[in-house]
Amino acid sequence: MTAIKEYAALTRLTLIHASDAVRKGETTSVALTKAALEAFKVGDTTVNASIALDPEEALETAEGLDKLRKVGRLLGPLHGVPLAHKDMYYRAGKPCTCGSKIRGVFRPAYTATAIKRLEEAGSITVGSLNMAEFAQNPTGHNAHFGDCHNPWHVDHCTGGSSSGSGAAVAARFIYGALGSDTGGSIRLPASMCGVTGIKGTQTRVSRFGAMPLSFSADNVSPLARTARYCARLMRIIAGHDPSDPTSSTEPVSDYEAALDGDVRGLRIGIPNNFFFDGVDPEVWTAFDVAMNVLESRGAMTVRLEVPHMDDISTYASVVSRVEGATIHAQWMRERPEDYSVHLAGRLYAGYAIPAVHYVEALSRRGPILRALGKDVFAKVDVFATPTIRMKVPTLAATDIDAGAPGAIEAFGAISANTRAINYMGLPSVSVPCGFDSKGLPIGFQIQGRPFAEAKVLKVADAYQRDTNWHERAPTLDV
């Protein structure tokens, strides 16, 4: 019992406190890793956030890191910190299921750049996390590995597709995790699970070794409890990678150093159009209160119109659907029964979208982003919206495979606000801003100009200095 209490105390440390504690010799990498593994063991029967843990390798790595620290050598800003990642990041020789039956025995021959950079910074990968099959649903359902359950209320969705990443961070199994975001797949679980999640500017982080979904909209980024911890993880993984020629050569600034809490005079746009259509009153109230918090710090809110939102909504749905359908075509011909019902159904429709409309959607991306620069970012520094317009739904109400009425429409509605941001390619961070009447989290998202990761994180951090939603932890009924 004492050991369990000690482990619980360690998992409740923050990412930065855990890192500092190892550096100062107040705890060890082995102790943190054992605590994380024990947390999964105790709590994951309820949450189902993991797909595979690797205790032996994790502890061996931790022992090595502790030996290095004893001789005064620290690998980097994550020395000795256990993490776990969505099961779509390749690690040489390790299984990588992509949340699917189809890739059930896949063992990649190389390691994802983002994982490599995190491990070179001293982190320990303790295992792989549950996810939507091939990262293609916004709820956290998974027919092959079991649905991931929201640690705040296990009947409810975690959000997806980075379901295990959101749930594991929220449940305090792990200090941070990589997710991926093509239409909201980091920000949706961040919002539904009450943690912080950032999607970088399109091309900001290398996608080498990350399972592809939609090459125009895929993003590799982290989830953690706060903006500050996301900043630390993001700085480590961002930046050009020769193995991914599409990754940006734009310099990476010190995101953590930018977090000074000073948002005086900062202009925050609040859209009049699109983003609040049909929004739940409880979500709207939480959003308004969040804006009041930022105003009380000296930020100014400005009402504005975001141009072309109807077009963006149409185009965004086409781009990822066509690109996803393309890379799955051979499996859809040869073994469609190995996909879950909803994924095979969603992919199928993609084969009938005319190429001229797909190219139209891609071709208008540049002009629309320029219009956004003129009509939005000439007037404000960032703009904010609810991450999700509705309250967290139940798994049953959104189970397409079980034939739940309205579930297909719910899939589209959940990601309406996030998917649009991927089309624009903007950096966006989702921040917890309260709980609904059933005790489930609510989040809002902050968007900035391309490569303004430091700014969106700064606003998120300023908000978190005056609120404590991110400090609240669910009590697991284990």
- Residues tagged active-site: 86, 161, 185
Nearest CB to another protein, comparing residues 74 and 397: 397
Please give the C-alpha separations between residue 304 and each of 274, 299, 373, in angstroms, as whole numbers: 11, 16, 13
Give the Cα separation of 78 and 343 in Å (integer): 36
Query: Does the protein bind another protein through residue 370 (CB under 8 A)?
Result: yes
Q: What is the DSSP string of 184-198?
A: STTHHHHHHHT-EEE
Query: Does the protein bind another protein through residue 396 (CB under 8 A)?
Result: no
DSSP-H helix ranges across 48-176: 55-70, 113-120, 163-170
Nearest CB to another protein, comparing residues 56 and 337: 337
User: Out of 53, 193, 227, 344, which residue is the one contacting another protein (CB under 8 A)?
Assistant: 344
User: Which helix H or strand E contains 386, and what residues bound it?
Assistant: strand 382-386
Query: Does the protein bind another protein through residue 470 (CB under 8 A)?
Result: no
Query: Does the protein bind another protein through residue 349 (CB under 8 A)?
Result: yes
Query: Does the protein bind another protein through residue 346 (CB under 8 A)?
Result: yes
Nearest CB to another protein, comparing residues 108 and 345: 345
Residues 288-327 that bind another protein (CB under 8 A): 310-311, 313-315, 317-318
Give the pairing of strands 220-224 and 176-180.
Answer: antiparallel
User: Out of 333, 475, 477, 478, which residue is the one contacting another protein (CB under 8 A)?
Assistant: 333
Query: Does the protein bind another protein through residue 383 (CB under 8 A)?
Result: no
User: Which helix H or strand E contains 127, and what residues bound it?
Assistant: strand 124-129
420 half-sphere exposure, CB direction, 13 A CA radius: 26
Residues 211-270 that bind another protein (CB under 8 A): 248, 250
Q: Minimal distance in Å, beta carbon 454 to another protein?
A: 8
Give the Cα separation of 205 and 162 in Å (integer): 17
Q: Minimal distance in Å, beta carbon 200 to another protein?
A: 12
User: Out of 137, 142, 201, 464, which residue is the one contacting another protein (CB under 8 A)?
Assistant: 201
Nearest CB to another protein, comparing residues 287 and 315: 315
Query: Does the protein bind another protein through residue 345 (CB under 8 A)?
Result: yes
What backbone torsions phi and psi does residue 190 show, to the nearest 5 degrees?
A: -60, -45
Nearest CB to another protein, comparing residues 88 and 369: 369
Structure tokens at 143: 């027919």
DSSP strands (E only) in 4-68 = 50-53
Query: Does the protein bind another protein through residue 341 (CB under 8 A)?
Result: yes
Binding-site residue total for another protein (CB under 8 A)? 54
Of the candidates 165, 145, 122, 166, the residue with the CA atom closest to the CA atom of residue 33 = 122
Query: Does the protein bind another protein through residue 365 (CB under 8 A)?
Result: yes
Give the Cα separation of 436 and 193 in Å (integer): 12
Of the candidates 311, 162, 286, the residue with the CA atom closest to the CA atom of residue 224 = 162
Query: Does the protein bind another protein through residue 455 (CB under 8 A)?
Result: yes
**Residues at the contact surface with another protein, assessed by CB under 8 A:** 201-203, 248, 250, 310-311, 313-315, 317-318, 329, 332-333, 336-337, 339, 341-342, 344-346, 348-349, 351-353, 357, 359-360, 362-367, 369-370, 372-373, 377, 400-401, 408, 412, 425, 448-452, 454-455
